[in-house]
Structure 1
Amino acid sequence: MFVLCIEAPRKDFLAMISHHLVTVMLIIFSFALNVTTFGTAVFVSMDLADIVLAFGKCLKYIEMPDSICDPIFACFMFIWIYTRHFLYGYIIYAWILYGGDYSSKLTHYVVIGLLLVLQSLMFFWLWSIFRIVYKMFANNTGVVDDRSDDEEEKPETSEQDNKQRIV
């Protein structure tokens, strides 16, 4: 969370902060309720896709061709859907059924609420992933992360403006 606060804010800054706060609260509950297996399952379902995403971003930063980066992004997308929606949905279902055995009724519902908030944030990012894929096919370009404002989005200057700056 510290890094999010010191780097340039992205368009999904509030979602990222919310995601990290909810995740920290779920970690605290998993330790406090002594259900670390549950906490570990949530952790693994969250981080598996991030490994592939980080690898793909590294390749993009070293300017590997799109023919290499795009399949890695596709791999990331399928892993994301499987782990963060299918497996994570199963974790939510399991907590709804069996989580009450480990906690009070109030705590049980608080954890369900946190799990559902996290799932809603992941649906927001899934929409962003689909938007990136749509732009990739519509513009016939490689994968481009549109969450941050970078140099490419600055208004272009004309050749005349560039000549005047040189002189």
Structure 2
Amino acid sequence: MIRHTESTMAGGITWFWNERFWLPSNVTWADLRSSDGAVYPQLEDFGVILPISLILLIIRLIFERLIASPVARFLGVPAVNGRPAEDNLILEKAFQSVSRFPDDKRLQGLAKQLDWSVRRVERWFRRRRNAERPSRLKKFSECCWRFVFYLAAWSYGMYTVPYESWFWDTNSYWYNFPFHSLTTPIYNYYVIEASFYLSLMLSIFTDVRRKDFIANLVHHISTLSLLGFSWVCNFTRIGCLVLIIHDASDIFLETAKMANYAKVHILAHINFSIFALTFFVSRVVIFPVWVIHSSAVISLKVIGPFPSYYLFNGLLIVLYSLHLYWFYTIAYMVFIIVTQGMVEKDARSDVEETTDSSDETESLNGSSKTGNSTNHINTRSRAAANHH
């Protein structure tokens, strides 16, 4: 039985990695085994991704606690969500065992039981719910970690990849494909990026939970799959270019979000505008002109079509379609900021409930109209930056 199961699994793996699908004609997996003369990407190389991703998670915890959180406190980012709800055993019991969002009838009953106004009971439930929401400090710390990684990864990519002999000549991406010997910088770049996305996928269950949770989870899985496929089939030259293009704009997005959480709204607007410009140049212009043209047109002339050619280019076109959609959304947000100074609530947003006008009007993501507008913009554009 065990042998039968192992045989079935081996057969499934063989079927999935059929070289006739993934590689050009007359090329086999055996041809891509590393030797003394050339080093090619190997599937087993990705075995280091899980331990590195776990190390990144540990580094992240230390970074957020010892660096990001103190910086947030220094900038005045609060660790709690507004005023706490006053102690009340009756309301606490109703909150825990009955409903976190009581209807009008229950609110009136509780108000009568406590001899409170209905407005006061509503306010208590609002504050109690806010107490369980992630604080701005936690959000700031998460953004700070992503900002540091994107900045470091993009800097490393720009320091190493453009100095490869093939980088500036898109025809060189396909000459003698797939026999492109792997250099140490490219290996390091691919592995650390894949490890980071795996760490994001592992931490998504403990990070601030947003309404696009499922979309983000699917995105991380898709990104890891694309990185894995491009690695095994040695599409690493195009892959490195895609990574550099995508990391560039994310730096400014995370900076804008941190500035918003710290209520430095002018800096948030400036960085979001830079993010929008960088997004347009890198993902709307450079991506099709350099990446898709090379992968779809030049490769066809140099090596001809093969089955996985259509898969990879189809995925790149889908990715570009997402770029266009999200840039439209981002451009609309920028237009609203420039013309009106604020935007309406975004249905995707994880905006916390605010208190009544008689209390503090601060929400977790900013109390002023300018702050709230930036929060909604950052929340919507976050998904744009996440669709790598």
8 Å CA contact retained: 1:53, 1:76: yes
Post-superposition offset of 1:22:
3.4
Task: Give the TM-score normalised by structure 2.
Answer: 0.35
Partners of 1:17 and 1:132 lie apart in 2 by 25
Segment of structure 1 superposing worse, 86-95 or 6-15? 6-15
Verify: 1:51 aligned to 2:251, yes or no. yes
Verify: 1:86 aligned to 2:266, yes or no. no
The correspondence for 2:296, drawn from 89, 96, 101, is 96
The correspondence for 2:349, drawn from 128, 148, 153, is 148
1:136 aligns to what? Answer: 337
Which one has the largest radius of gyration? 2
Percentage identity across paired residues of the two chains:
28
Post-superposition offset of 1:11:
4.6
Partners of 2:257 and 2:347 lie apart in 1 by 13
8 Å CA contact retained: 1:45, 1:88: yes
Post-superposition offset of 1:73:
1.1
Change (3 A) 1:85 1:21: farther
Change (3 A) 1:157 1:9: same
8 Å CA contact retained: 1:9, 1:148: no
Post-superposition offset of 1:92:
0.9
Partners of 2:303 and 2:212 lie apart in 1 by 34
Unaligned runs of 5+ in 1: 160-167
The correspondence for 1:31, drawn from 228, 231, 234, is 231
Post-superposition offset of 1:7:
4.0
The one-character-per-residue Cα deviations of 1:76-114 (angstroms, maximum 9, x if unpaired) are: 110001111111112011100233456862100000111
Partners of 1:61 and 1:32 lie apart in 2 by 41
1:62 aligns to what? Answer: 262
Verify: 1:124 aligned to 2:310, yes or no. no
Post-superposition offset of 1:8:
5.1
Partners of 1:5 and 1:26 lie apart in 2 by 22
Unaligned runs of 5+ in 2: 1-200, 359-388
Judging by fraction of residues, say which structure has more helix: 1
Q: After TM superposition, what 4+ stretches of structure 1 lie above 6 angstroms from structure 2? A: none
Task: Give the TM-score normalised by structure 1.
Answer: 0.75
Partners of 1:102 and 1:24 lie apart in 2 by 26
Higher relative contact order (CA 8 A, sep 6+): 1
Partners of 2:320 and 2:298 lie apart in 1 by 19
Post-superposition offset of 1:115:
0.7
Helix, strand or coil at the partner of 1:54: helix
Post-superposition offset of 1:59:
1.6
1:163 aligns to what? Answer: none
Segment of structure 1 superposing worse, 16-25 or 32-41? 16-25
Change (3 A) 1:123 1:14: farther
Segment of structure 1 superposing worse, 91-100 or 108-117? 91-100
8 Å CA contact retained: 2:246, 2:282: yes
- Please give the residue correspondences for 1:148-167 in structure 2 after superposition, counting only pairs within 5 Å: 148-151=349-352, 154=353, 157=356
Aligned residues: 156
Verify: 1:114 aligned to 2:315, yes or no. yes
The one-character-per-residue Cα deviations of 1:135-159 (angstroms, maximum 9, x if unpaired) are: 32354249x97732212xx476575
Post-superposition offset of 1:43:
0.6
Helix, strand or coil at the partner of 1:80: helix
Verify: 1:42 aligned to 2:260, yes or no. no
Post-superposition offset of 1:31:
1.2
